[in-house]
Each structure stands twice: as C-alpha cells, then as structure tokens.
Amino acid sequence: MYIYLVRHGETEWNKRGLLMGHKNSPLTEKGKMQAMELGKKLSDIPFDAVYSSDSERAIETTKIILDKQDHTIITTPHLRERNFGRFEGKTRAEMDAHTVAFEDLEDSDKFVYKVYPDIESDDELIKRFFIFLEVLRDTNHENVLVVCHGGVIKSILLHLKHLQYDNHKAYSIHSVSNSSIVKLHYASNTLSLEETHGIIQA
C-alpha cells in the first residue's frame, strides 16, 4: 500500500503565525491555490480511498484536491494536528518562551517532551497515526490519499529518521511546507519512506 500524506493549504492563522492545533482557520486564497496544484500533481494516481483529518482546513483542502472526482472523504480525529492546549490561538513565540530547556534534551527525550500536560508530544502524535494505520491494515487498498497537518507529518518523519530536531524550538514544523507531499509504503505492519516533496531538511 502507498500512502500519499499531504499537508493542508495555507490558512489565515498560518499567515498570522498563530498555533491552531484542534482549533480551525479557513484557507487563504493562496492555500486554495496550493490545494488546486496538489490536485493537478496527484490527478494521475488512482486512489482507492481518501482520508482526512476532521479539521475543516484539511477537509477543505481535500475537497479542492479531488475537485469533481467521485470519492467519499472519510474523516477521522486520529489525523488531527497536535493539541496545543492553552497555546491554541497564540503565537509560537509565546509558547517558545516556555521551552528554553528543549535544546538540552536528547532526541529520545524530545520525542516524548510535553511543555504542559495539555499539549501532545511527538510520541502521542505518532501513536495516533498508528491507530489510524490499523484501519488501513486489513484493506486491499493500493493507493491512499491522506490529508492532515504539519505536526503529524513531522512526527512521522522524525520517527522514520528522515528529519532531526534542528533547533531549540519544541514542535517546530517549518520543515513541512503547506501542501507538501510525503509518499509512504506500508506493508506487513512496516512503514517506510518512498519520497518527499516540499520537505525542507536543515
């Protein structure tokens, strides 16, 4: 099975530098154009199933990607962005002020790091994603489109050792561009990376 993991298009809060998490913000005109370009790039792939985070920005991106294609969009909370708790709707700088010790941690400790109990760690994000994979495991799908979020995608790439923690800021997703694509291969309960587009390695 090949999984095409896509980040939603730019949102108004992305543009303003605000943390969304489980809250939502509509796509900008640029974000809608990014989704249209994704639709063109992915138009030749015969998707057997389409999944999206249940956040409105991901669903809106998915609908634009599919355009007039006859696909049912299956939504799931397992693909949601990181829960940023008390920092949702605030700037990243406000949260970064509370993560001064992050750069001194070992990578294994960064993976489970929580600024506050109500903020999800990378470890919790990847566990959510693997719960989602259990849904796919017993299907016969060959190609699956999955539209989700930068935090989810980065946690997967950290798990697969494709990305490393590159600065002192916890939960930074600057390496995962809006409308980026990550192609994964999933077989025998093993996940591997095939290729990436729009992923910036430090």
> Which pLDDT score, from 0 to 100, does residue 167 have?
63
For residue 202 the two structure tokens come to 């430090």
pLDDT at 202 over 60: no
| pTM for the model | 0.94
89-109: per-residue pLDDT in tens?
999 888 888 877 788 888 899
| Stretch among 3-7, 25-29, 136-140, 193-197 having the lowest mean pLDDT | 136-140
Strand spans (E) along the chain: 2-7, 49-53, 73-76, 143-148, 176-187, 190-199
Nearest one of 10, 34, 13 to 23, comparing CA atoms: 13
150-191: per-residue pLDDT in tens?
999 999 999 999 998 876 577 888 889 999 999 999 998 899
So what CATH class is 2-199?
alpha beta
